[in-house]
Structure 1
């Protein structure tokens, strides 16, 4: 199963969490097996560049099927990182898979490579002279991300960020407080055998361990939603009073839309997405949470607001912009290998374009909130700087959260090592004229 999932991710760009969940739902395996499968898949993705560095001397650029490469990488991962799986078990399983999926030549090749690795050992990545390349290989993060982070935050902070990425992501939920109190949710989850504690990041969030909350009655009834703590801060920072007309300009799958609806009493939130199936998803979420009256979902590109709305139609607008997702490297380890600096620069243009088009639809004294799940300044502070140079009718205001998280430059940047949550950026702008 691990070979198949890793091959699908490598060949088709599948998301690790979705590919894994698909298999776990379909195949009723024991918790021990499910845990091992998860550890192998995430372990290979989190350490991919290091594993490839170790493997290369033994295969010397030899052409091989994708699944054979994934089989060797996951076997190498188990040999080097998993102390509870004995070496002979790793070899036996690998040889068995090579035999069943390939031919006798494949079996011999896999056997030869793994025996050579055990006999000779692997190269020490710490001996790589170039600092950026060494960090890239040791932490399995592409060189361009290492370079960008060092430019932004310096060597020590970069190493702290990279070092934090292989820690297991926490299971965080947000409580829909218009449907259930935080204390009642804590009590019910604890009664069901979960370990629950309050988030130190977002006031409406809880950290849950010992089980999957997506199978609980609370989740089915829309009283809780799966949402990282950092993501939960975005709407919290909007400081809604409950009667606003709000636009969620890039809304799917609707987590932040539901949070806005949760905070509204007489107001409504208009949720936009350019994809029909994603708008359907927002509607389903609104139905599940009981927010149909508060949520208006429309299939529309945020850059074409003029087709539906008059200027100054909204008290607040949220642009949770399409971004590179580099802040999600812990939760979606494959994202780091799929993106380039050019992608980030291209997204910068899209992000500025969206802000430019929505600006005129905020009333005077209304607020524009901009957020991303990336930690790259290209898509964060640089976007805001360019927007403010184009729109003198806006001023930046300080981002305030309910738990008073510190921010140094009015906007709030959360790095993955700060609270072991997702990396996020949030900024707020007020229209003054």
Structure 2
């Protein structure tokens, strides 16, 4: 990662750098965070603090901005200075065990190291004023939609859609979970060892983990970073949320199946399918060559190269590439808004629009339709997304079934974030009854 603050290797300095790049470059926080954790030699405690500051500052962004606004008024600030102030307020308000003096001292040092004396004075003045005065109380906002929006840091349009689809009580339950730190979940490749054996080995190596209440092949890592484990390096573990692991389970993959993963990158579900094959093969498509390479690298790490054929291809052109009825099972893990991942990728909520989601629905329907000639009679077509919006889930399936009466719905499942403390996910399995 090209460093903006090349000489600043402090935890808080790194957090400000990541937060600035997320905002300025539309980068993903989880990817930047992983890059920094691999490049910097931080203690386990500092790794945890860095993760907490980055995710927390993004998750609570609208609340933090509401608190900061009266202290900077309309003053223009450099992007990294703005992120520095938001991160400092997050620490002051949400990290009870960190002394306020330490937060102020370190924030002022970052301003001094990376800016001029005027920036240092500005940051010092704002932070001292915040400590002296009461922050504005968002629970006193009169408009109910705006109040929920600021309190839970969710844009009003998205909040209104959740209210329309789920009602007040369920929406509030969802809101109360989406700003919690995401679990570090891994899936165990069952062809290498059982979930119980993986748990035992991880704990012997100093990790703390629990069985997933949602997926029998998943573990929740409570202490330690799984990427640094022997099991991950040997290919026995794959980073995959427990809700996502449910998708392949619902496909009922058989050992000899020919399977198509139409939108495969980075390959988590491809690897899960391969884990269940013996003589079968999973063909993994992605439109970007660098992502195809990533699938191949992940398959090689897990020892699945012989069972995975990764191809650079737009899934909508697959019918021109493969003969009709080529596949026993097809998975369309469709491009979506990703709203179910707001804990893991909290910046997503600020980047999406209602118009963009309506456009996604047409893409999703088009992808499903392009798979129709490729699935065998009696075969399964599975649709999944990592969103919790019905416009991308139930409505897409309903529209597809209306357009393609040769398919019947076998099962449908929505996992909301508050139900298992996991990512939000949707999956539907369809059977092709006739050509």
Shared fold (TM-score, shorter chain, > 0.5): yes
Larger mean CA deviation between 94-103 and 40-49 belongs to 94-103
CA distance in 2, matches of 1:81, 1:171: 21
After superposition, the Cα gap between the structure-2 partners of 1:82 and 1:284, relative to the gap in structure 1 and judged at 3 Å, is same
Following TM superposition, by how much is the alpha carbon of 1:90 offset from its aligned partner in structure 2, in angstroms?
2.3
- CA–CA distance in structure 2, aligned partners of residues 306 and 83 of structure 1: 57
Please give the alpha-carbon distance, in whole angstroms, between the structure 1 residues aligned to 2:251 and 2:193: 21
Aligned partner of 1:160 in structure 2 is 173
Distance 2:341 2:49 in 1: 22
Number of the residue aligned with 1:287: 300
Alpha-carbon deviation of 1:306?
Answer: 2.7
The answer to whether structure 1 residue 416 and structure 2 residue 417 are counterparts is yes
Structure 1 residue 92 displacement after superposition? 2.2
Deviations 1:70-110 (A, max 9, x none): 11111111222222222222222222222232222222222
Question: CA-to-partner distance for each residue in 1:306-361, whole Å, 9 max, x for gaps?
Answer: 33111111111000001111000111111111111112111111100100111111
- Structure-2 residue corresponding to 1:336: 349
Task: Show the counterpart of 1:176.
Answer: 189
CA deviation after TM superposition for structure 1 residue 208, in Å: 2.3
For residue 397 of structure 1, give the secondary structure of its aligned residue in structure 2. strand
Alpha-carbon RMSD across the aligned residues, in angstroms, is 1.3
* Counterpart pick for 2:59 among 46, 68, 91: 46
Quote the Cα distance in structure 1 between the aligned partners of 2:217 and 2:106. Answer: 45
| Secondary structure of residue in 1 paired with 2:305 | coil
Kindly indicate whether the alpha-carbon contact (under 8 Å) linking 2:263 and 2:285 is maintained by their aligned counterparts in 1: yes
By how many angstroms is 1:196 displaced? 2.9
Residue 283 of structure 2: aligned partner: 270
Q: What is the CA-CA distance between 1:299 and the residue it aligns to?
A: 0.7
Q: Is structure 2 residue 242 aligned with structure 1 residue 229?
A: yes
Please point out which of 291, 302, 308 is paired with 2:321: 308
Distance in 1 between the 2:329 and 2:390 partners? 24
Distance 1:86 1:209, change over 3 A: closer
Identify the residue that residue 122 of structure 2 maps to in structure 1: 109
Structure 1 runs of 4+ aligned residues shifted over 4 Å read none
> Against the structure 1 CA distance between its residues 220 and 429, is the aligned structure 2 distance closer, same or farther, given a 3 Å change threshold?
same
Q: Does residue 35 in structure 1 map to residue 36 in structure 2? A: no
Q: Does 1:216 align with 2:229?
A: yes
Deviation at 1:20, TM superposition (A): 1.5
In 2, Cα distance between the equivalents of 1:218 and 1:94?
A: 38
Distance, in Å, in 1 between the alignment partners of 2:185 and 2:171 is 25
Between the aligned partners of 2:35 and 2:356, the Cα distance in structure 1 is 29
Specify whether residues 384 and 52 from structure 1 end up closer, same or farther in structure 2 by C-alpha distance, changes over 3 A only.
Answer: same
> For 2:255 and 2:221, how far apart are their aligned partners in 1?
28
SS class of match (1:312):
coil
SS at 2:167 equivalent = helix
Q: How does 1:1-16 map to 2 (within 5 A)?
A: 1-16=14-29
Within a 5 Å distance, the mapping from 1:57-72 to structure 2 comes to 57-72=70-85
1:244 corresponds to: 257
Q: 1:217 to 1:97 in 2, by over 3 A?
A: closer
* Of 367, 374, 389, the match for 2:380: 367
After the TM superposition, which of the residue ranges 40-49 and 85-94 deviates more from structure 2? 85-94
Contact persistence 2:378–2:431 (CA under 8 A): yes
Question: Deviation at 1:431?
Answer: 0.8
Following the alignment from structure 1 to structure 2, what is the Cα–Cα distance between the partners of residues 295 and 101?
Answer: 47
Q: Which whole-Å CA distance do the structure 2 matches of 1:187 and 1:110 have between them?
A: 48
| 1:75-94 alignment, distance < 5 Å | 75-94=88-107
Q: C-alpha separation between the residues in 1 aligned to 2:221 and 2:161?
A: 33
Shift of the 220–90 alpha-carbon distance from structure 1 to 2, 3 Å rule, reads closer
2:243 match: secondary structure: helix
Match of 1:401 in 2: none
Q: Which runs of 5+ in 2 are unaligned?
A: 1-13
Q: Secondary structure at the match of 2:278?
A: coil
1:222-277 CA-to-partner distances (Å, cap 9, x unmatched) read: 11211110010000000122221111100111110111111112211111111111
Q: TM-score, normalised by structure 1?
A: 0.94
* SS of residue in 2 equivalent to 1:283: helix
Secondary structure in 2 matching 1:363? strand
Q: Is the 8 A contact 2:319 2:371 kept in 1?
A: no
SS, match of residue 246 in structure 1: strand
Q: How many residues align?
A: 421
2:19 alignment partner, SS class: helix
Does structure 1 residue 196 correspond to structure 2 residue 209?
yes
